[in-house]
Structure 1
Amino acid sequence: MNTRKGESVFVSGSSSGIGKAIATRFIEQGAKVIVHSRSESRALHARDEIKAAGAVWGDLSRAEETNKMLAHLEDFAPIEVLINNAGIFSVEDFFTLEDEVWLQYYQTNVMSMVRLCRALMPGMLARDSGSIINVASEAGIKPLPQMIHYSMTKTAMISISRGLAELTKGSMVRVNSLLPGPTWTSGVESYFDGLAQQEGRPLQEILANYFKEHEPTSLIQRFFTVEEVSDAALFLVRNGAVNGSTLRVEGGIIRSI
């Protein structure tokens, strides 16, 4: 399925960062994009700022709020492209992290994707047309010791994506996962604030030495732009031969063929 002018594209977690960049990229292609945030004000601000076709809001870690949001999303049906980008991340000490935080991460990063795919994918299969992109992370393949809780959710997303792709066999529906590496966003800036506190070093020192110390296998030795990630998302939707794949946009951090 290639992108078509006027098709409905829903991007969860799209009021900022990678999600907002993906939404903007599809709007540039003429798609009818619906943006999302947990906050009504942030969702509406993003809609107006990037001139999206609509906005919905709700906490996707909660089933009841997801169902309410899906009811509003019906105003823009059928959803032809679903991009699951909503998620949270933080630097945490594995040995002090409480069970409730693990469950929060699973509900937010994994179950939000599960609920949206469960709700919207049957319609795609019935129409024999559609594309789903689940935005995971290189951490799903190369878990980060300071973000084990986050990494496990991204591994789960990759596994579920492949399983869902198996359900599309013989159809024109496709499910792929996108694995961005370190991408510079406001959220990542907050992440580095946390890392600096954890390591007891100035933020600028952390940034200057980050790739040398934390990502030495990176071949490009820099942060990615949100535009580079959004271009990869567009490729996954445009290329009808790509299904059940994990597209790594991580600059060679994962030292594997």
Structure 2
Amino acid sequence: MKIDLAGRTAIVTGSTGGIGLAIATGLAQCGARVVVNGRRAAAVDRAVATIAQAGGAAVGFVGDLGAADGCAALVAAHPSCDILVNNLGIFEPRDFFDTPDEDWTRFFEINVMSGVRLSRAYLPGMRERDWGRVIFISSESALNIPVEMIHYGFSKTAQVAIARGLAERMAGTNVTVNSVLPGPTLSEGLAEMLRPEQEKTGKTLEEVAADFVMEHRPSSIIRRAATVEEVANMVIYLASPLASATTGASVRVDGGVLSVI
């Protein structure tokens, strides 16, 4: 199989690092012109340079897509796209009883409403051209709600519901909408969180990440953290013409954490 995205424009939100950068790089390597997004110009520039070094084409958009005006500015700068990857998201462990209203609102605005606003802006053009891909990067936490961050799990469940609803809204067209559910993934955020344990034990980062997975997600079948590239590979497939019969799906890249069939 060969994935050819030549002539397609892709927007990947929150793509200056981690899963987002891996997705943006992979899409660009398949021939797509990718719009990279982040809140800081220096980080966006680094991501664009990274993609160029990998042989892809990318442009940057600096803006906070967790706010309505940031989404509007992106759409004004890039009014059309063929592939929209709603990857922007935040997470933060906090007990339910210590999570104030403003945190619930912040998670909803960033994790959920960014994808709602951009899907609302770009899906009509995809429908008119009768081809498009919208992918929400959710999480296995959408189904396996983490007790230590219920507010995060709630936002990820919302993404799954929106993706399914939008897929049905696009019924009968060649526009697909799906959600992807990664499990524990060794992104920069997890690496930073595990750095003190790595320094204390002398283990490799991968070994410490595997210990973390088995402590917090003991149902994992692969018994390690996934790489960002492993998650990106699934997203790239769903973004391609090869995935034309997959829509309204919640596709798991969770290492077998979820026991539901």
- Normalising by structure 1, report the TM-score: 0.90
Residue 172 of structure 2 is matched in structure 1 by 170
Partner residue in 2 for 1:72 = 77
Partner deviation per Cα, 1:44-93 (whole Å, 9 max, x = no partner): 2211221243111211121112211221123xxx3001000011111112
Alignment deviations for residues 124-171 of structure 1 (CA, whole Å, 9 cap, x no partner): 011111011100000001011112111100000000000000011110
* Equivalent residue number for residue 255 of structure 2: 251
Deviation at 1:40, TM superposition (A): 2.2
* Paired AA for residue 156 in structure 1: A
The one-letter code matched in structure 2 to 1:49 is: T
Does the 8 Å contact 1:211/1:218 carry over to 2? yes
How do 1:2-81 residues align onto structure 2 when only pairs under 5 Å count? 3-51=4-52, 52-74=57-79, 78-81=80-83
User: 1:162 and 1:3, CA in 2 relative to 1: closer, same or farther beyond 3 A?
Assistant: farther
Q: TM-score, normalised by structure 2?
A: 0.89
Inter-partner Cα distance in structure 2 for 1:59 and 1:191: 24
The number of aligned residues is: 248
CA RMSD of aligned residues (A): 2.1
- Aligned partner of 1:144 in structure 2 is 146
Q: Which consecutive unaligned segments of at least 5 residues does structure 2 have? A: none
Q: For residues 209 and 4 of structure 1, do their structure 2 counterparts lie closer, same or farther at Cα, with a shift above 3 Å needed?
A: closer
Q: Distance in 2 between matches of 1:203 and 1:119?
A: 49
Separation in 2, partners of 1:50, 1:211: 30
SS of the aligned residue for 1:177 comes to: strand
> Post-superposition, which runs of at least 4 consecutive aligned residues in structure 1 deviate over 4 A?
191-194, 201-208
Name the CA shift for 1:60/1:202 in 2 (closer, same or farther; >3 Å): farther
Which shows bigger deviation, 152-161 or 228-237? 228-237
Between 62-71 and 7-16, the greater mean CA deviation after superposition = 62-71
Give the CA deviation at 1:4. Answer: 2.6
Is the contact made by 2:5 and 2:27 (CA closer than 8 Å) also made in structure 1? no
Worse-matched range after superposition: 92-101 or 165-174: 92-101
Tell me the CA shift for residue 209 of structure 1.
Answer: 3.4
